[in-house]
Amino acid sequence: MLDVAVNFLARELNTYLLARTGGTFGSALLSRVVDDGGKWAIPDDQIGVALVNIDEERAVKSQLPQTVYANGRQVVLEPEIKLNLYLMFAGCVSFRKCSCSSRRARCSRPSATRGSTLASKSSAST
């Protein structure tokens, strides 16, 4: 049941990012932050969604059981449990230096080496 809630939030975040950016850059996926060896477990250019903590919401908890009649019999139902899920959203973004000398991720200006590589490939194919 918890995986359904967390998957729903990850899908909604992906829908929002797609509508906002128009691409799949930075799509969210359920992931651990680090693996067993202590290395970064989130793939490049992705947003990792990890469940960090779960606790019970006690402030609005009903303390009394509820009685319900089913098939002519009285059935006692325990009060429902309301949970708080704490999620961590962590991003792994690769930075590169572009020709505008800024340190922004995904700079729209191509770097000098990247531009010359693309030009050589396009001239070789014609």
Domain boundaries, the chain: 2-55+83-121
Going by C-alpha positions, the residue among 43, 44, 42, 49 that lies closest to residue 12 is: 49
- The reply to whether the predicted model has a pTM over 0.85 is no
Mean pLDDT of 10-31: 85
For residues 28 and 47, the answer to whether their CB atoms sit within 8 Å is yes
Provide the 3-class DSSP secondary structure of residue 10: helix
Question: Per residue in 32-46, pLDDT tens?
Answer: 888 898 888 888 888
